[in-house]
Each structure stands twice: as structure tokens, then as C-alpha cells.
Amino acid sequence: MVDAWLVTGGRDVPWALAPLYADARHRVLHSPKLAPHLDIILGDGYADSDDHLRWVINGRVGEIEAWAKQIREDSDG
């Protein structure tokens, strides 16, 4: 029996977090500021964190965007 949901990009999200992940992904994809950062915002290191997913769903777009940009900058340089 499978205990995770395989989502786009090959990530496994625990079934218990699937509703939160779906809501977070919906918000990111429908935000012009967040959509370019989907790979970071819902990346492997964060997609299985209840707190992170709730922050993506309820947090300020500008704050989430700034965080994602900083992560990208740190990983590029």
C-alpha cells in the first residue's frame, strides 16, 4: 500500500498533507508573483512540512516571494 501522493516533479507528499499541498499549490500557481518560484516554494525540502504548507496558504505573498527569491539567490551563488 502506498503511503504518499506522487505529485508533479516526482515528489512524494504524505497522504495526510495532500489537502494542504493541493491548497498551497493552487495558491502559488494562481499568483503571478509566486508562480515563478513554484519549484522552490513547494520543493522537496519543504513540501512535506505542515507548517510550511500552512504558511504558503495563509502567509503574505510578498513575504513568501522574498523568501523564495533569497533561497534561489543563495543556491545560485
**What is residue 43's predicted lDDT score, i.e. its pLDDT?**
86
Nearest to 56 by CA among 12, 32, 25: 25
C-alpha cell belonging to residue 73? 539567490
Our measurement of the distance from residue 22's CA atom to the centroid of its chain's CA atoms, rounded to an integer in Å, reads: 9
**What is residue 8's predicted lDDT score, i.e. its pLDDT?**
53
- Cα–Cα dist 60/73, whole Å: 20
**What is residue 18's predicted lDDT score, i.e. its pLDDT?**
85
The pTM for the full model equals 0.82
The pLDDT averaged over each successive group of 10 residues in the chain (77 residues) is 51 80 95 96 84 97 97 86
**What is residue 4's predicted lDDT score, i.e. its pLDDT?**
47
* Domain residue limits, the chain: 4-76
**What is residue 11's predicted lDDT score, i.e. its pLDDT?**
62
